[in-house]
Amino acid sequence: MSDIQLWTLVFAVVTFGIYIYIAYASRVTDTAGFYVAGGGIPAPANGAAIAADWMSAASFISLAGIVGLSYNGYAGGVFLMGWTGGYVLLALLLAPYLRKFGKYTLPDFVGDRYSETARLVAVIAAIVVSFVYVAGQMGGVGLVFTRFLGVSTTTGVLIGMAIVFFYAVLGGMKGITWTQVAQYSVLIVAYLIPAIAVSTKVTGVPLPQIGFGTILDELNGLQADLGLAEYSGAFTQISMPNMVLITAALMFGTAGLPHVIVRFYTAKSVRAARYSALWAIVFIAILYTTAPSVAAFTKLQIIKDLSGATLDTVPGWFSTWSDVGLITAAGGAPLSDLSGQTFNYSDVAINNDIIVLASPEIGGLPAPIVGLVAAGALAAALSTASGLLLVISSAVANDVYYKKINPQASESQQLMVGRIAMAAAICVAGYLGINPPGFVAQVVALAFGLAAASFFPILVLGIFWKKTTAAGAAAGMITGLAVTMVYMIWTIDIYGNSAGIWNIPETGFGTIGMLINFAVTIAVSQFTTRPSEQMQHLVEEIRYPGRTKLVQQHAAGEV
């Protein structure tokens, strides 16, 4: 066993032990604890849990790779702007009002606000979005285990499934929440230490966000020498319209993600829900202002390391990552095609998902730091996976079993169904992790588009337009989700690499699907039965500060 494998194993065992202990100490025996942690999580802890829940394997593993490699710097800003901007929408437009409505799940809100038919559509949409999202997380788990412990992807995913099964099934939302607080601590420390070390080594400035600016001219020059567009050049990799569409899809998708929205039901009050969103933005910003620096530092070092290299003289990090198939010759050809000749950065294809994981090795940092980064990547993937699996479990147990099949079910029966649904969802997630339909961040970006096209319009209209009808909401969700899914299947690389309509990428089409959803919902609502007068009054009162009598009665289940 190498030093890197040993330290990865040490950090993995220690952190997994902490997560399991927290889950055991936080185990629940009622549905309120299983679904929303009893609604008693303090705002700072809830903010950390939200950050960990949302900053998935895509943020930790792939974001820097997207910025540095796929989108060549400037264009990668769509992910930074979209994913963080969505939290502003959540804090202003959705979080406090949904918390005031007082339900367990997003389909629960849809069912009470609109109808049981709309609830069923929302359940299907939540499950689809969550499974697409969780595929990226389990794929990230398999990637980390394959590289750092030398086991197969299948074995790595199975280990991740076992850990998530234990603490998610045992502790429900309460266990998941406190586990995610610990996971955020692990992932942010693991992300910052190598970033600070590399920044200090390369620029002499310990703050990556500042050191980043001192190397841009050098990086631009190196890329120009290779015939590549400037790293900081605007619209060199993506057009302005597509940049707007992708940013909007990620932003509105963030505001419509079921596993993020449910977090605001765990807050103690409406005020705490607002502050939870504020704390989440702070915690997320720490990583998101660091990621562009990691991307630039790592790409600069990669270009230098591979300038005039041969397969016999490449640095160690190149060999270790090419051995697991994540570095190939340009165009996906085998590296053996470069045998006996010199090559540079533009002659090879480097997978986005290795940039952060390989950055300590590329920067020459010691094995313990490499192991810590691996543990951070696992924390990011598992924290989000558990939140997504809980969405699936609660949708099945609460919105299907309890609300539709057996309204007289006892607390223990609901918990049992929820845990069975969780176990089944973990099995499906494991399969998707072993057979992922793309690299981690690509799959996750598709989930954001689906969330934007299905949930965001009916949530906003459900809160701010009291005349939105059940038929309109159901028609809008079905149309937005279906059109977006069909477009994604048509254009995603593994299904033929179609250029799509007006060259709109699959990651940006969620914005179009969202606009279609808005249009269909509004149009159908004009010609269908209006909500009851009581519901219209309730929708109006939810938007005002304080808790009116009608809102209190609704939250208590009396109306």
Tell me the pLDDT tens digit for each residue of 445-478. Answer: 677 888 899 989 999 999 999 999 999 999 999 9
Domain boundaries, the chain: 3-447
Position 494 scores a pLDDT of 43
Position 495 scores a pLDDT of 40
Tell me the pLDDT tens digit for each residue of 486-536. Answer: 888 777 654 444 566 777 888 888 899 999 999 999 999 999 989 888 888
CA–CA dist 244, 248 (Å, integer): 6
Position 436 scores a pLDDT of 65
Which of 152-161, 164-173, 236-245, 452-461 is predicted with the least confidence, judged by mean pLDDT?
Answer: 164-173
CA torsion angle for 18, 20, 25, 27 (degrees, to 10)?
A: 150
Helix (H), strand (E) at residue 12: helix 3-25
pTM over 0.75: yes
| pLDDT (average), residues 480-485 | 90
Q: Could you tell me the fold of the domain covering 3-447? A: Sodium/glucose cotransporter (1.20.1730)
**Buried-state track 252-286, b at ≥16 Cβ within 10 A, e below 16:** bbbbbbbbbbbbbbbbbebebbbbbbebbbebbee
In eight-state DSSP terms, residue 41 is B
Q: Higher model confidence: residue 440 or residue 296?
A: 296
Q: Does residue 559 register a pLDDT over 60?
A: no
Position 474 scores a pLDDT of 92
Percent of the chain residues topping a pLDDT of 70: 91
Tell me the pLDDT tens digit for each residue of 84-124. Answer: 888 788 877 887 788 777 666 788 888 888 988 888 888 88
Cβ-proximal residues to 288 (8 Å cutoff; 6+ apart), any chain: 59, 63, 80, 83, 84
For the chain, what is the mean pLDDT?
82
Helix (H), strand (E) at residue 440: helix 440-454
